[in-house]
Amino acid sequence: MEPEDQTTPPAPRSERRKEARHTVDGSAVLTILSNAVHLRGRIVDISMNGCQFRTDDCFPMGIYSRAEIEFQLDGLPFRLACVTQSLHRRNRVGVRFLDMSERKREQLAELIAGLEELLAKDRAAADPGAPETPKSL
């Protein structure tokens, strides 16, 4: 009798996010509040609850560091309080937005609706026979 192979592939991770992420590419500055470190980089995806920030530098802090992120997407400037939520590689960090005013929340929702609309148009152009998918925000 041969021994059973104990190496099984890991189970796929379940999605914990409540909101969909949308791929973007915009310049940003992440400021770590505890030591006033300013990191220049790019936002690579965004949702109503946070974004992923990529920098060329090595990220100097761990998770749960209070920060502020400034970026401009689609002509709308944002400056939001946030906390570092996850680290990916040495130069990517997931941030969760904090204490967003109603006005900023509405602006972000508008931005994301525009991203979803562009994505739907791109999908329709790629596959003209496909039915249009409803927006989910």
**Stated pTM of the model:** 0.77
**Parallel, antiparallel or unpaired: strands 66-73 and 92-97:** unpaired
Q: How far is CA 120 from CA 18, 76, 95, 124, in A?
A: 20, 21, 26, 6
Average pLDDT in the chain: 85
pLDDT at res. 29: 97
Domain architecture of the chain: domains with CATH: 22-126 (2.40.10.220)
60, containing H or E segment: none
Rounded to whole angstroms, the Cα distance separating 17 from 44 reads 16
**pLDDT value of position 22:** 95
Residue pair 70/78 in contact (Cβ under 8 Å)? The answer is: yes
User: pLDDT tens, 8-52?
Assistant: 554 445 555 578 999 999 999 999 999 999 999 999 999 999 999
Task: Give dist(CA 93, CA 84) in Å, integer.
Answer: 7
